[in-house]
């Protein structure tokens, strides 16, 4: 609780129409801030129909979190212009031909409070003894998205040539493998027993397409990471050449281009669905890991969550490979390459690399997941959707996730120039759950929020 607090008086700080934070009646100074985990327990009926207990944070704690959230928001706004200029200067479409657009925005106080509250609930020993503690908890405070252009659609002749010239495990494809791969490429029915084998072939087939789309951004990341290490560690080009990890052209540019901007990366996540393709290939993840001088040692701050084949150089155990694979695969097919960054001005942020279409579905695909996690921040136009989601059993939700993954895969195929057929919602589900309807609801909600914002002024309502 706040050190200067003498009375339990709180206020509601309305930040947008219908949305508010609980804050202290008299706002404290930042240097007096402290927040401890105070809670009480309630009983409620769980999904299985049994009574369960839940910890609920007290108003004292929530008010302190509200104060912290507004202070962190102010901190991010102060640092936003510099961070945005940095990201656009490195990845903007005036620099990289393969980039369609770069989007940047600071996290809002409402989002900050949600993350701080989750951190306080999930870690019994967690406290925030200073504003710096709260700032460090919001690693994605300034969010950036680098949207890469789609590849041109491949012709049948181009696809056939790629298949004919392809190798798998060092050998040319057999006629059987070519036949199966073509079925996957053109989305023809596949026997369940052949699915895993064909998917591995499809991964190998698609790898050069993935790398063609993302080569510029991965090489730019690599150069920026190496430049940062040259500044902070005294790393030199000669040492890098001796390692033999990097293309000579890349190191020539590092040596000759004074305009390369340093990049400080702390975490990399390369997410994909079970039968989806990643944003960055395993080769590209390995290139970034080598640039970061990644070492699998206890206590190291850097984390890379990826298909373990992308980190094969680092001798993962079978158990570690399984953990990596589990963390990097998302049931709904969610796919993005995202990384935490420390900006040049010290602000903490996150960069996500996506294609145009997967960025679009990524805006609303998570709505069903959020609802099942108890995050109910949606407008009234989602009421029918919320009811339909609440009625899904765990088994039904798993099948629904398979449908969402197929939607992600469809949009990713469009980005790679591959044949793509729009998946249909299984007939067993309410039509309101379709991807098309999720998008329509999301667009309606965005339009509604913009309209409400025109006549809304942030304000604080004090208790009597």
136-145, 278-287, 305-314, 441-450: the lowest-pLDDT one: 305-314
Give pLDDT, residue 49: 67
Residue with tokens 């004919």: 164
- Per mean pLDDT, which range of 126-130, 147-151, 327-331 is the poorest? 126-130
Mean pLDDT of 198-224: 97
Q: What is the mean pLDDT of residues 119-132?
A: 82
| Amino acid 296: pLDDT | 55
What is the average per-residue pLDDT within 359-381? 80
Contacts (Cβ under 8 Å, ≥6 apart) of 144: 83, 84, 87, 102, 103, 104, 341, 349, 350, 351, 352
CA angle 267, 148, 244 (to 5 degrees): 55
How much is the average pLDDT of 271-287? 95
Torsion-angle region of 21 (φ positive above 0: left; ψ -120 to 50: alpha; else: beta): beta
pLDDT computed for residue 211 by the predictor: 98
Closest CA to 144 of 94, 74, 92, 186: 92
Mean pLDDT for 119-145 is 88
Q: What are phi and psi of 404, to 5 degrees?
A: -65, -40
What pLDDT does residue 299 have? 46
Percent of the chain with pLDDT over 70: 93
Q: Can you give the pLDDT at residue 370?
A: 79
pLDDT computed for residue 386 by the predictor = 87
Can you tell me the distance from the alpha carbon of 99 to that of 363, in angstroms, rounded to the nearest whole number? Answer: 19
**Which residues are paired to 303 by β-bridges?**
267
- To 5 degrees, how large is the angle CA 392–CA 269–CA 223? 155
* Higher pLDDT among residues 373 and 158, named by residue: 158
CA distances from 348 to 69, 89, 130, 343 (A): 15, 17, 17, 6
The confidence score (pLDDT) of residue 367 equals 85
How does DSSP assign 116-172, residue by residue? HHHHHHH-TT--B-SHHHHHHH-TTSEEEEEEEPPPPPPPHHHHHHHHHH-EETTEE
Judged by average pLDDT, the poorest of 83-97, 115-129, 202-216 is 115-129
Q: What is the overall mean pLDDT for the chain?
A: 89
Q: Match 């998008």 to its residue by tokens.
A: 439
Q: Report pLDDT digits (tens) over 305-355.
A: 899 888 877 777 778 778 888 899 999 999 999 999 999 999 999 999 999
> Considering the chain, what percentage of its residues have pLDDT values greater than 90?
64
Q: Which residues contact 253 (CB under 8 A, 6 or more apart)?
A: 223, 260
CA-nearest of 63, 72, 59, 58 to 109 is 72
Closest CA to 425 of 371, 464, 385, 380: 385
Q: What pLDDT is stored for residue 2 in this prediction?
A: 38
What 8-state DSSP symbol labels residue 29? P
- The mean pLDDT value for 66-89 works out to 95
pLDDT of residue 6: 43
Q: Sorting pLDDT into bands at 50, 70 and 90, what band is 235?
A: very high
């Amino acid at each position: 609780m706040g050190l200067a607090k003498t009375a339990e008086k709180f206020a509601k700080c309305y930040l947008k129409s219908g949305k508010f934070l609980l804050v202290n009646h008299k706002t404290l100074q930042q240097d007096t801030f402290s927040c401890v985990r105070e809670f009480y327990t309630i009983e409620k009926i769980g999904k299985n129909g049994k009574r369960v207990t839940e910890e609920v944070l007290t108003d004292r704690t929530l008010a302190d979190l509200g104060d912290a959230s507004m202070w962190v928001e102010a901190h991010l706004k102060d640092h936003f212009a510099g961070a945005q200029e940095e990201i656009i200067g490195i990845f903007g479409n005036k620099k990289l031909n393969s980039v369609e657009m770069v989007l940047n925005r600071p996290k809002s106080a409402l989002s900050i409070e949600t993350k701080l509250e989750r951190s306080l609930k999930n870690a019994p020993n967690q406290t925030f003894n200073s504003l710096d503690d709260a700032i460090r908890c919001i690693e994605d405070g300034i969010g950036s998205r680098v949207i890469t252009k789609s590849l041109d659609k491949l012709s049948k002749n181009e696809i056939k040539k790629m298949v004919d010239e392809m190798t798998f495990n060092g050998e040319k494809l057999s006629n059987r493998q070519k036949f199966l791969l073509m079925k996957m490429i053109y989305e023809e029915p596949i026997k369940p027993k052949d699915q895993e084998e064909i998917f591995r072939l499809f991964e190998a087939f698609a790898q050069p397409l993935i790398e063609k789309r993302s080569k510029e951004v991965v090489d730019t990341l690599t150069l920026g990471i190496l430049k940062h290490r040259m500044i902070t560690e005294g790393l030199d080009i000669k040492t890098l050449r001796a390692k033999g990890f990097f293309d000579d052209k890349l190191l020539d540019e590092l040596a000759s281009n004074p305009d390369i901007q340093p990049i400080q990366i702390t975490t990399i996540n390369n997410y994909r669905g079970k039968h989806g393709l990643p944003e960055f290939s395993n080769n590209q993840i390995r290139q970034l890991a080598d640039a970061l001088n990644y070492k699998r040692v206890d206590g190291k701050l850097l984390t890379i969550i990826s298909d373990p084949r992308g980190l094969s150089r680092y001798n993962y155990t079978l158990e570690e490979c399984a953990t990596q694979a589990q963390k990097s695969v998302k049931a709904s097919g969610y796919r993005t390459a995202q990384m935490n960054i420390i900006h040049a001005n010290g602000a903490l942020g996150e960069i996500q690399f996506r294609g145009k279409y997967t960025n679009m579905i990524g805006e609303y695909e998570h709505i069903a997941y959020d609802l099942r996690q108890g995050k109910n921040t949606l407008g009234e136009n989602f009421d029918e959707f919320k009811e339909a989601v609440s009625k899904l059993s765990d088994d039904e939700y798993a099948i629904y996730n398979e449908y969402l993954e197929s939607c992600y895969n469809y949009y990713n195929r469009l980005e790679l120039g591959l044949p793509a057929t729009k998946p249909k919602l299984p007939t067993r589900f309410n039509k309101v759950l379709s991807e098309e309807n999720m998008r329509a609801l999301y667009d309606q909600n965005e339009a509604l929020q913009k309209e409400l914002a025109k006549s809304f002024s942030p304000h604080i309502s004090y208790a009597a």
